[in-house]
Amino acid sequence: MRVLITGSRGQLGRALVDLVRSHGWQLWAYGLPEFDLADVGAVQEAVRTAQPEVIFNAAAFTAVDRAEEEPEAAFTINAKAVATLAGLANEVGALLVHLSTDYVFDGQSQRPYREDDPPNPLSVYGQSKLAGEKAAAQARKHLIVRTSWLFGRGWNFVEAIRKQLLNGAGELRVVGDQRGRPTYAEDLAGALVALVRAGASGVFHIANSGETTWAGFAREIVAQLGFSVPVVDITTEEAGRPAPRPRYSVLDTQKFDSTLKPLPPWQQALARYLRTINR
């Protein structure tokens, strides 16, 4: 199989590159700083040269707070570039696998969000990702996957907590009124490849099993790293972040779970991740 990956140096991109290589598939991997998804000419050349059967778009403008100040940059990468990829996917006959986010929802639900629930993003980031979903859906063959609270090789929430612990923090203050599902990039990559191999299409929600708050996530990180530092719950308002966040963004993954099988609990995924960085 001929595969092209954008965002190859991101958390998901790195996991996808390794997995695709392990399958022995032909791979074209592109990432910053050499490859900018905003460069239409470069994107066209990459896709037309590779003639891929599958395009994994793992590139995104993910700086949620910065997107409030730089909406044009967010929409350029998260929506306009996706439209370019969708057009190229149609040109070469490729399946476009596009990654989206729980931030397309407003957090007002009383139950986990299903794929057919109406999106209502609160932030510029969420709005740009929703626009990207609509662009990706213009590809005749598309797979749109929403995920949440990603961690893997690179900078992420786990690393932020670990850095504070290693720097001698005596207390951690973490938001306790936002709820979601942590997701390990390695598990997500495996799920994406499995869906492609199964011939799946449409919209899927994928996340590791179980749910928690950011504070609960932090407590598990602290415990698994063997520290005894207390984690104090704070409110979203106390955190004072510029971009609004959904208070409840738990994704319902029953569609994926019934198509293949549920991903492992996020606590187990965290343990596997921590073993990789402590080798």
Measured CA to CA, the distance from residue 39 to residue 13 in angstroms comes to 19
Token representation of residue 196? 């492609």
Q: Are strands 212-213 and 172-175 parallel, antiparallel or unpaired?
A: unpaired
Token representation of residue 161? 């907590």
SS3 (DSSP) at 196? helix
Measured CA to CA, the distance from residue 185 to residue 126 in angstroms comes to 20
Of the residues 125, 184, 248, 273, which is catalytic?
125
Measured CA to CA, the distance from residue 129 to residue 148 in angstroms comes to 13
Measured CA to CA, the distance from residue 43 to residue 1 in angstroms comes to 20
User: Distance between the two ends of the chain, CA-based, in angstroms?
Assistant: 33
* Rg of the chain over all Cα atoms, to the nearest angstrom: 18
Closest CA to 105 of 116, 93, 90: 116
The reply to whether 30 belongs to the active site is no
Residue 112 backbone class (left: φ over 0; alpha: ψ -120 to 50; beta: rest): beta
Amino acid at position 262, single letter: P
Number of H helices, E strands in the chain: 12, 14
**Residue 31 CA, distance from chain mean position:** 16
Residues with a catalytic annotation lie at 125
